Amino acid sequence: AKERPDNLFDLADCGLKEIPSGTFSLAKVLLKTHLLLQNNALRNLDSGGNLSDLQHLQVLDLSSNLLQRLPDKFHNFPSLQILNLSKNRLQSLPPSFVKLSSLYKLNLEDNALKFVPSEIGALTQLVVLGLAGNPFSELPDQILKLANLQELTLPVERMRFPPADVCKDGVDAILRFIAGTRTGYNTSTSISESHSHVSHHGPQETGCAQASPDASFEQKPQNQRLRAVELERQLQEDQKGQMQLAFEANQSRQKVLGQLVEDEARLHAELTAVQRKRDQDHTKLVHTLLSAEDSADRLIQQLLSRNEAAKRQEAAADLDNLKMLVNRPDSSFELRRQEILDAMQTMLSVTDEAYRGYTAQRQVAQQRTLAGDVSADQEVVGLLADRHEKQKKLTSEIALEEEAQKAAFAKLQLKQDARAQRLQRDIVLIEQELCYLTKTEQDRKAKRTEVNQQCLNQRRADLVRLLAQLSKEQQTRQEELKARLKEMEQHRVDDQLDYWLIQYQRLLDNKPPELSNKLEPEVEDILKLAGGMDFASNLQYHRITYAVLQTMTEDDLQRIGVYAAGVRRAILGAVVDRIQASKLADI
């Protein structure tokens, strides 16, 4: 039901015994205007949530259920137009039912209504009213207040007032009968008075007095139907205009969101490319450094092997020279010794030079690696800054576009408001009439003709007073439109807030069982001290934390299922002792 793209929230034919929790708030978040719950086994509406979340609802179908009563707050539907409660077990309607001011179709057929409440006359917009299949037998006089009523169904076989034969003749006959019955006393009184004055007025005037009310009553339903048709047409035009405006706003929002997604994808691609390039450079530098280290290691191994070989050769040569010196000492021994020392010094110099070259090469490789990392970090920071600037720019554009849409919507609302247009036309007509009166007075003064100046002044005063009243009504209507715009904006903010609250509630509902069903250590210690571990499941079910337990009273513990009075007092005493112990520990 919640995934449908249209305005329907359909839970019909689901065999529900109660409405799923959160259904009303979910319908509000999804902007659903039609809620269908027919053909279930519902006994009440309490489990669905807060009825105030259905303020935008236009159609509500609860037919073919087991409802015996409606909640007392069954009036939080200022936009409700169609309500179907047929085939239930309703015996009465709540008093707040009459506050459904926008309702024009009401179906109460096949219920257990023993009487029709007189307050139903407050539903002045009703066009269709279904009451067949109920055990009542009389209609209240207040049914005459339903000026727009065109279709009415009744349990004809049970009806005593109006009689069954009158009910079979249709709505006009029923209303005419009730009107004649209610005004019968006044009519007979007027007839007796006319007969008492026969000698003064004659029979002809008496006949006229009796015929005029019937003629006016015959003309009244026709005017009522015309007004109802005009009202419905204006309502359809207003709804079409609002739907068109909402569609354009949605398209604009989708376009901006698409642009944001494209920018996000492009920026992500750029960041991915930079990161890939950085990884490649880093890998290349690491390979270069490893190859340099391997080359230096090979050079050191070669030098060490050469040194070992040279040392062995020199040791052998020294041994030979020593033998020669021992056997035949001469002056060449000192020269040979000096040559050996010079060779050793040369070898040490070559080894030191190779080691210094290796160290310098390794430092250069490290510096290159660090420089590459710094440049890559600078590029990433620059890209992030550009992304932030683009997001700020797009946010400001969205805000400006929303303000422009609000202004356009206000102008469109004022332009399409039928009442404002009617007031404007009336003001123009009155101004034209005043101009005409002024011109007439000037002409008559110029011709010096005698006229009833007092009558003209009275007419001018009436027109001026009417003009002032219409101007005041026009100003009041403009203020009402502004207030409606503010209310719509507040509803939009509330819807956004409710959306995040619902997301938070879903997060809490999806919390792992091992976290949600586990008591806090402080609460578990208190239960152990009070000997109340048998009631641990009650505290787990109600998610009682240590902070909540500190504020609870004995009545609160009893309400959550701790029925043992001694355990309740022991728990509260353990909480007090623990609080005092923590205070002493802080001191």
Distance CA 146, CA 289 (A): 94
pLDDT bin (cut points 50, 70, 90) of residue 66 is very high
What value does the mean pLDDT take over residues 20-32?
89
pLDDT at 495 over 80: no
pLDDT bin (cut points 50, 70, 90) of residue 130 is very high
* Strands of 8-90, DSSP E: 8-10, 34-36, 59-61, 82-84
Percent of the chain with pLDDT over 90: 22
The pLDDT, as a whole number, for residue 398 is: 80
The pLDDT, as a whole number, for residue 106 is: 95
Distance CA 474, CA 472 (A): 5
The pLDDT, as a whole number, for residue 184 is: 44
Q: Which of 212-216, 228-232, 559-563 shows the lowest per-residue confidence on average (mean pLDDT)? A: 212-216
Residues 6 or more apart from 565 whose CB is under 8 A from it? Answer: 554
Tens of pLDDT, residue by residue over 351-367, are: 778 778 778 887 887 78
Distance CA 225, CA 241 (A): 24
Distance CA 27, CA 45 (A): 15
Structure-model confidence comparison of residues 154 and 343, the more confident one: 154
Tens of pLDDT, residue by residue over 371-416, are: 776 777 787 788 888 888 888 888 888 878 778 777 766 666 666 5
Q: Residue 82 corresponds to which tokens in the numbers above? A: 């169609």
First-to-last C-alpha distance (Å) of the chain: 60
Structure-model confidence comparison of residues 66 and 220, the more confident one: 66
Side-chain-side CA neighbours of 243 within 13 Å: the count stands at: 9
pLDDT at 323 over 80: no
Cβ atoms of residues 38 and 19 within 8 Å: no
By C-alpha distance, which of 251, 266, 260, 265 is closest to 391? 260
List the 128-130 sheet strands across, edge first. 8-10, 34-36, 59-61, 82-84, 105-107, 128-130, 151-153
pLDDT bin (cut points 50, 70, 90) of residue 573 is very high
The pLDDT, as a whole number, for residue 501 is: 67
Distance CA 32, CA 85 (A): 20
Please state, rounded to an integer, the average pLDDT across all residues of the chain: 78
Cβ atoms of residues 116 and 93 within 8 Å: no
pLDDT bin (cut points 50, 70, 90) of residue 181 is confident
pLDDT at 213 over 50: no
The pLDDT, as a whole number, for residue 366 is: 74
Q: Which of 263-277, 280-294, 316-330, 526-540 shows the lowest per-residue confidence on average (mean pLDDT)? A: 316-330
Whether this model's pTM surpasses 0.95: no
